[in-house]
Amino acid sequence: MNSQQDKLWVRWVHAYYIKRGTIENVTINSNTSWLLRKILDTRELLRDIGGWEEVSNIQKFSIKKAYNQMQENFERVNWRRLICNNQATPKSKFILWLALLSRLTTTDKVSKWSRDCITLCKLCGVQDESVQHLFFDCDYSKSVWATTLHYLGLSPVNFAVGELRRAIQKARSKRSKDKLYVMLYTECLYAIWLQRNCKHFKGTNLSPPAVIQEVLFKVACNCNENDRYRLLLM
């Protein structure tokens, strides 16, 4: 506030509230306006994150510094670019994010709090459902992945870990083919999750070729003209 005294509002605050004191010792009373009250309430937060010096650059408030100060020191995950550098639809990125955090409610998880839960995979009905099985080991998903990767001229690697590693690597790349792969990877994962839910709640789902057509259509709608042309040639 001291560096902005040429502003009328700041002058007014200084004249009526701060007077000859500092912003730290201004008392809030019944006459204090709602706006100023909210601003003054942040003094406590400012103290908690290290004071004015920690959130300013050359006496100017820095939102970036304040934001960083308010963050806890979390470990950086190696798949962050897979979420941030990804042009897939927001819903599919959200499901990918949940899958990466192992937060999707697959039946292996549900069975821990519900004894009546049938743990078999909704898509094949043969093995127990987990993120690993549902998205990569299930025959239904394998069929979706194999055809999708074939479109990109790639062959399936050791599923789950290998495919995730490849997706993480390609998310660092700026090549349009790699961006396309990341989009397809994300949309495939989301499509498999949707088909699993359709089977579970409606008792029916699409065949893998129909799923792939839907995924390609969705990716074609979201990518640039060159990539769309590339998809058409596949």
Tell me: does residue 131 bind Zn ion (CB under 5 A). Answer: no
How deeply is 1 buried, as exposed, middle or buried, from its count of CB atoms within 10 A (0-12, 13-18, 19+)? middle
Contact flag: residue 124 with Zn ion (CB under 5 A): yes
The answer to whether the beta carbons of residues 77 and 166 sit under 8 Å apart is no
- Return the number of the residue (153 or 203) whose C-beta is nearest Zn ion: 203
- x-marked contacts with Zn ion along 71-110 as a string, rule CB under 5 A: ----------------------------------------
Asked if 192 interacts with Zn ion (CB under 5 A), we say no
- Cβ atoms 3, 59 nearer than 8 A: yes
Task: Locate all alpha helices (DSSP H) within 123-205, ordered by sequence.
Answer: 131-132, 139-151, 161-171, 176-202
Coil, strand or helix at 160: coil
Least distance CB 129 / Zn ion (angstroms): 7
- Does residue number 123 form part of the binding site for Zn ion (CB under 5 A)? yes
The minimum distance between CB 162 and Zn ion, in angstroms, equals 19
Residue 115 CB, nearest distance to Zn ion (Å)?
A: 22
Residue 121 binds to Zn ion (criterion: CB under 5 A):
yes
Task: Provide the minimum distance between the beta carbon of 77 and Zn ion in the complex, in angstroms, as a whole number.
Answer: 27
- How many angstroms separate the CA atoms of 53 and 193, rounded? 48
Q: Identify which of residues 120 and 234 has a Cβ nearer to Zn ion in the complex.
A: 120
Distance between CA atoms of 76 and 80, rounded to whole angstroms?
8
Of 46 and 146, which CB lies nearer to Zn ion in the complex structure?
146
Taking a C-beta distance cutoff of 8 angstroms, is the pair 49, 55 a contact? yes
Residues that bind Zn ion (CB under 5 A): 121, 123-124, 138
